[in-house]
Chains A and B, each alone.
Chain A
């Protein structure tokens, strides 16, 4: 029982942390262009330097 007193707040805290991170990511525009992100990994960045 006394274990729960620690574990439950920790679990909730982690959940809230995840929620906060999601909010931050959304405000930062991480979800604005999901299709673009999938395409961009195919672009060869090396070409830029030549």
Chain B
């Protein structure tokens, strides 16, 4: 039996969860402001901030959509982007599984160590046997559970005929556990359960640190094609319209695009005039005017309309999809990069194995008997086991990325730091990277009356110039004048009446260089100029990079004029009007000269270059696609984090090399002892934890940041 209910009841009870990423939150004040500000809005039940991931989870009624939430956050003073369906899910699971394994290993280690200490301090006979049995009961399930990440990875490597760091670890742990079980059953003197479990604990600590770093900073990366319109209103033959999914659009269909909509396919305008925001695609911040016959691309957002667009290419044939494909191919080359830990282990693992084998053979030849030879070989395996090696890289990288987050740079994973440390040339995109990417209104010379009228008009429009003008005026504390009957004439601008006088804000009659708006009050005319200003510290950043021996260049998809102006101001080489393919070709030619390129860019058109470069950084205002392709994302208006990132990555790698040095020194001291057969479980335990602690301590030095 079904209970009867009305549609209204359903709407009242149904709640939707939306997750947004807000990179700009910095302090407790931001948390409070966001959570309270959102909760006050009609239709929102609750908002919960996750500060580590810079995310907000909002529970709201289905009446609100993502755009409304982003707009609400903009009013609170935060840039926000909707997050695609949990792109972090799998990573989250991995780091949680590692943490659980770490906790189990920690539990086992502590209890076995308690029992072992009693044995070392002289417990004998029945008590010792009892303690060994107890250790075995604890250690076997712990090794089985906590060792899985290593066993699985070692098995994978062996199946494909390779070795990695996990192979000696797995062999060491399994042999030590097996031998200890044998000794326990036979009632012999030595058991190595403590060493085996402690080894797992320290190595898992390294793995967990590594995973934590990746999950913590990968937040805010949306799905690739989320910027493309998901559906379109299509005009049928009989004049009716129907909503069609982007995937079902066919060339020849006519889409009706209202202002504010994103285009779902490439096409040609058949009817209507308007302007498009193409900045996501080309990086060009000036809105593009379109009329009948103009070619338009998926991903562009209509600022005014409506337009009738005949589809020429849909779904996987669009320019946007083509860029996505280029990016995918470009990214392949980078995934072949071998991380420093893997390179170290490919040298280390065979050395350790041969050493242990030699120890076994040597003692056999010396006539020690197979049992004692095996014990010594295992001691060699365990004591050389890369405890400190396993921690050397993640510990340094976690500390560095933590320090960089405080400076406004999110590094996505450890290999990004390794690659950042190696670069020797930096290539910048212009719009949105060297510049702020949004037109800044110059209101300094505007008289007070004009300001008030301009604000009253500008705040009613969604046009980027109007938005920028009203932001600039509000920032200066201007109060809007009382303007009535405001209408927005598409392609022309805004008009209204103020104290009986007709006023308007719109495009200047004659074409001028650069962006500008014309404000008319009665018959008085005032020009308001807009400029896409350089980031304040752009010059300083390039100087700092040069100091580190990194030359800079500009590679932009923009027109020649503005690019050359910026290049002249910063005194660097520049290339303008480059298509995504041209950018890739340039990277390829630099690579063939043996240079390692750092790419810094923000538009969708930079995506392939970002994916192909040796290392890449995108600003927080960049498109989802670019943020996803880049290794690191910087938030805020300063460009300096780019130079800092390189400096810190280099320091991080210096510390990593020191850590490896320390681990090698430790092995040089410990291995002869093990080979000589004098390593007791106590010595092994002390040596192992000592070396790990030294490595962690050394890495913590990175937390102190020098400017």
Contact partner of A35 (CB less than 8 A), chosen from B51, B96, B110, is B51
B138 CB–A CB distance under 8 Å: yes
Complex CA gap A34/B51 in Å reads 8
Instruction: Report which residue of A11, A16, A43, A44 has the largest number of chain B beta carbons within 10 angstroms of its beta carbon.
Output: A43
Compute how far the CA of A15 lies from the CA of B111 in the bound complex, rounded to whole angstroms.
8
B347 proximal to A (CB < 8 A): no
- A18 to B110 alpha-carbon distance, docked (Å): 12
- What is the interface of chain B mostly: helix, strand, loop, or mixed? helix
Q: Could you tell me if B96 and A43 are in contact, using CB atoms closer than 8 angstroms? A: no
| Cβ-defined contact, B53 with A33, below 8 A | yes
A8 vs B132: C-alpha distance when bound (angstroms): 13
The contact size tier of chain A is 20 to 34
Report the bound CA distance from A33 to B103 in whole Å. 19
A12 touches B111 (CB 8 A): yes
Measured CB to CB, the closest approach of chain A to B136, in angstroms, equals: 13
Contacts of A31 in B (CB 8 A): 99
Cα-based distance from A43 to B51 in the complex (angstroms)? 13
Q: Is A33 within 8 A of B107, CB to CB? A: no
**When the two chains form their complex, are residues B51 and A33 in contact, meaning their CB atoms are under 8 A apart?**
yes
Q: B95-114: contact bitstring with A at CB < 8 Å (1 yes, 0 no)?
A: 01001100110010011001
Contact string, B56-80, partner A, CB cutoff 8 A, digits 1/0?
Answer: 0000000000000000000000000
Choose one: A16, A19, A40; the contact of B28 (CB below 8 Å).
A40
Chain A residues within an 8 Å CB radius of B29 = 43
In the complex, how many angstroms separate the beta carbon of B486 from the nearest chain A beta carbon? 37
Residues of B within 8 A of A41 (CB): 28
Pairwise interchain contact B50-A1, C-beta atoms closer than 8 A: no
Does B27 sit within 8 A of A, measured CB to CB?
Answer: yes
Q: Which residues from 27 to 50 on chain A have a C-beta closer than 8 Å to any C-beta of chain B?
A: 31-36, 39-44, 48
Contacts of B13-69 to chain A: CB distance below 8 A: 27-29, 31-32, 36, 49-53
The 8 Å CB contact of A39, one of B28, B96, B99, is: B28
Partner of B31, one of A11, A18, A39, A48: A39
Query: When the two chains form their complex, are residues B107 and A36 in contact, meaning their CB atoms are under 8 A apart?
Result: no
A1 to B100, CA, bound (A): 34
Contact of A32 among B36, B50, B127, B130 (CB under 8 A): B50
B107 touches A18 (CB 8 A): yes
User: How near does chain A come to B88, taking the closest CB pair, in angstroms?
Assistant: 11
Question: What A residues does B107 contact at CB under 8 A?
Answer: 15-16, 18-19
Tell which of B50, B52, B53, B138 touches A12, judged by Cβ atoms closer than 8 Å. Answer: B138
**Chain A min CB distance to B91 (Å):** 13
Contacts of A48 in B (CB 8 A): 36
B144 within 8 Å of A (CB atoms): no
Q: Once the chains bind, are B50 and A36 in contact (CB under 8 Å)?
A: yes
Measured in the bound complex, the distance between the Cα atoms of B52 and A48 in whole Å is 24
Contact partners of A15 in chain B: CB under 8 A = 107, 110-111
B134 located at the interface, meaning its Cβ lies under 8 Å from any Cβ of chain A in the complex: yes
A43 and B52 contact, Cβ closer than 8 Å, known pairs A11-B114, A12-B111, A19-B103? no
The CA of A32 and the CA of B92, in the complex, are separated in Å by 10
Nearest Cβ in chain B — how far from A28, in angstroms? 12
Q: What is the chain B residue whose CB lies nearest that of A39? A: B28
Shortest Cβ distance from residue A34 to the other chain B in the assembled complex, whole angstroms: 6
Contact at A1–B127, with CB atoms within 8 Å? Answer: yes
Is the CB–CB distance between B111 and A35 below 8 Å?
A: no
Taking CB atoms, residues of chain A closer than 8 Å to B103 are 19, 22-23
Closest Cβ neighbor of A45 among chain B residues: B32
Closest 6 CB pairs of A and B: A36-B51, A42-B28, A39-B28, A35-B52, A43-B32, A33-B50
Task: Please give the residue numbers on chain A whose beta carbons come within 8 Å of chain B beta carbons, in ascending order.
Answer: 1, 4, 8, 11-12, 15-16, 18-19, 22-23, 26, 31-36, 39-44, 48
**With A19-B104, A43-B32 given, can you name 5 additional A-B contacts, CB distance below 8 Å?**
A11-B114, A15-B107, A26-B99, A26-B100, A34-B52
